[in-house]
């Protein structure tokens, strides 16, 4: 393992960002996530080259702004040379890991991270991650709104619209990032560690990318990758595929259901969401 990889695994926040100075980074894919990653990397010091297969006119103003900042931009086709000599490659969720653009990095053993992973490493705040096939955006929005009433700084980010990397440098360490995370984003995590991971449901989706439902579920299950018994996995007791994930996490499992009362978990009673976690039933909302 290289020195950069060791630093990547061991640190977050300012220490991690300091380790990037003087390095060369490449960003592959210039949709919203890629632009956020390129901006973050440019702000902390690495030389950055960013690439996308679309022509410049199809990418919009944000990419032109990157050029104005001094970020090297290669567009309008495959540019595997963009990652040659890079110390770090950040890939947008829309770019599959087997893309020919990433081949030089794979051959050279260069770390390939997703924007979610980069944003998480760059910040110091705790994270709550919400994934599943349906309902992610609604649940993430409502969760962020409810938690925001507690007075703690809340960031609603991820696949919902604001990339984590876009706020990583200014979001306070005592805050909480509530992130919608997709299977594409979870493919490229390494150290991403949500204190709470929520899986809402699982039905076949994105099979053109993942190849099979089993591979799709495996990608979703990566949300538990770095959790420990001190963390929480909140799972849907009403969904068969989600129930099966209980055996794939080291975190403490808490179930939720809208169809039946639970001996231990969160469920609906008389039109109210209630929690039975310590023996007594408490009304949530």
- 156 to each of 117, 177, 285, how far by Cα in Å? 16, 6, 21
Q: Do strands 24-28 and 88-91 pair parallel, antiparallel, or not at all (unpaired)? A: parallel
Q: Which of 159, 210, 220, 236 is catalytic?
A: 159
Active site residue 264: no
CA atoms of 209 and 226, how far apart (whole Å): 24
Residue 214 has a CB neighbour count (10 Å cut-off) of 9
| Residue 174 burial class via C-beta count within 10 angstroms: exposed 0-12, middle 13-18, buried 19 and up | exposed
Structure tokens at 268: 């609906």
Q: Which of 54, 193, 201, 206 is catalytic?
A: 206
Instruction: Find all residues with CB under 8 Å of 72, minimum gap 6, and list them.
Output: 47, 48, 49, 50, 82
Active site residue 136: yes
Active site residue 159: yes
Q: Which of 42, 79, 136, 210 is catalytic?
A: 136
Q: Which residues are catalytic, by number?
A: 136, 159, 206
């Amino acid at each position: 393992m290289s020195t950069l990889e060791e630093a990547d695994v061991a640190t977050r926040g300012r220490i991690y960002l300091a380790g990037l100075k003087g390095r060369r980074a490449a960003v592959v894919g210039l949709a919203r996530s890629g632009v956020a990653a390129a901006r973050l990397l440019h702000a902390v010091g690495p030389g950055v080259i960013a690439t996308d297969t679309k022509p410049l006119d199809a990418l919009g103003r944000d990419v032109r702004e990157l050029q104005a900042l001094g970020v090297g931009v290669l567009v309008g086709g495959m540019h595997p040379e963009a990652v040659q000599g890079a110390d770090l490659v950040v890939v947008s969720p829309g770019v599959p890991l087997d893309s020919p653009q990433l081949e030089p990095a794979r051959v050279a053993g260069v770390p390939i991270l997703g924007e979610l992973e980069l944003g998480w490493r760059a910040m110091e705040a705790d994270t709550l991650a919400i994934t599943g096939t349906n309902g992610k955006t609604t649940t993430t929005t409502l969760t962020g709104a409810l938690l925001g009433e507690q007075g703690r700084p809340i960031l609603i980010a991820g696949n919902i619209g604001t990339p984590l990397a876009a706020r990583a440098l200014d979001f306070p360490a005592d805050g909480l990032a509530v992130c919608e995370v997709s299977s594409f984003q979870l493919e490229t995590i390494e150290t991403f560690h949500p204190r709470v991971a929520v899986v809402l449901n699982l039905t076949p989706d994105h099979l053109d990318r993942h190849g099979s439902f089993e591979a799709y579920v495996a990608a979703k299950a990566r949300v538990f990758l770095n959790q420990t018994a001190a963390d929480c996995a909140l799972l849907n007791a009403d969904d068969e595929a989600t129930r099966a994930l209980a055996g794939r996490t080291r975190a403490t499992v808490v179930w939720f259901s809208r169809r039946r009362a639970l001996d231990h978990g969160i469920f609906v009673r008389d039109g109210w969401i209630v929690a039975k976690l310590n023996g007594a039933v408490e009304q949530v909302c």
